[in-house]
Amino acid sequence: MTVRRAPGVSGVAGLSRRSLRLWWGEFGSLLLLNIAWFLFQLPVVTAPIATAVVYALARRVVDDEVIGLRDARRALRSVAFPALLWGGLNLAVATVVIGNFWAYQSEAGLLWALVRVTWGVVGLGWLIVNLFYWPFWLAARKPRLGTTLRNSALFVVRRPARGFGVGILCVLTFAGALLLTLPLAAAAMTWVALLTLLAVDAELEAVGGSAEMAGAGAK
């Protein structure tokens, strides 16, 4: 896979501006993709697959390639099963985090407040790591669930300004869009995909070009 990158664009502000230009340049196609993504969130079981397809098509946009229905079908075939595995793992983690909040919500005292804060940090950290999951998965020669999660986590830890900066921006964008309207939140999905893809591209450029090298660079 050939990845086209903009040299020197690695800061959160620069990445955000470039992702907005890409998003606006393919507004028509991405609008349809946003609508499809939103509709496929409703059955729940198709949600992770739809998310993975969005990332795969956004990858083509970043690479300055045309996207169409044929590309969507090709992406669907390649990511469907891995996306279900990823979705199942996220469901399990979400169940644990939300379950702990629910179980201890009525407990008073500093200790229980710290427990809730800890689980909140764990949940937010897991969400941010997973924002970069598909960019690393798509960049890997032989993508695997565990390896891709490891590379995503290492990226956030090794590049906190870029990793947490982009991650928090994405979370705030989704939260703000949800407060306004659901369609706006759906529209934010393709922009988030573009932004996180660009952030991972900048990291891969820094370490030499592959997701495997990004992981090896942490050793």
Looking at residue 215, what is its pLDDT? 54
Distances (CA, A) of 112 to 102, 109, 116, 182: 12, 6, 6, 33
Residue carrying structure tokens 């990226």? 155
Looking at residue 175, what is its pLDDT? 83
pLDDT surpasses 90 at 219: no
Distances (CA, A) of 35 to 32, 133, 155, 204: 5, 22, 30, 31
Kindly give, in sequence order, each residue whose CB lies less than 8 Å from that of residue 87, ignoring residues fewer than 6 positions away.
Answer: 45, 47, 48, 49
Residues in the chain: 219
Q: Which tokens belong to 214?
A: 């990004």
How far is the C-alpha of 54 from the C-alpha of 37, rounded, in Å? 7
How far out from the chain centre does Cα 127 lie? 8
How far is the C-alpha of 42 from the C-alpha of 73, rounded, in Å? 20
- State pLDDT tens for residues 153-208: 999 999 998 999 999 999 898 888 777 776 677 778 999 999 999 999 999 988 87
Looking at per-residue pLDDT, the higher value among 213 and 151 belongs to: 151
Confirm if 47 and 41 have CB atoms less than 8 A apart.
yes
13 in the Ramachandran plot: left (φ > 0), alpha (ψ -120 to 50) or beta?
alpha
Q: What number is the average pLDDT over the span 9-38?
A: 90
pLDDT surpasses 80 at 214: no
Looking at per-residue pLDDT, the higher value among 142 and 213 belongs to: 142
| Strand (E) or helix (H) holding 85 | helix 69-103
**Packing angle of the helix pair 12-25, 160-180 (nearest 10 deg):** 50
Residue carrying structure tokens 């090298």? 213
How far is the C-alpha of 80 from the C-alpha of 211, rounded, in Å? 21
pLDDT surpasses 70 at 5: no
- Residue 1 corresponds to which amino acid? M
Looking at residue 2, what is its pLDDT? 41
- State pLDDT tens for residues 104-156: 777 777 887 788 888 888 999 999 999 999 999 999 999 999 999 999 999 99
pLDDT surpasses 80 at 8: no
**What band does 10 get if pLDDT is binned at 50, 70 and 90?**
low
Q: What is the pTM of this model?
A: 0.87
Confirm if 11 and 191 have CB atoms less than 8 A apart.
no
- State pLDDT tens for residues 39-97: 999 999 999 999 999 999 999 999 999 899 999 999 999 999 999 999 999 999 999 98
How far is the C-alpha of 209 from the C-alpha of 203, rounded, in Å? 8
- State pLDDT tens for residues 134-148: 999 999 999 999 999
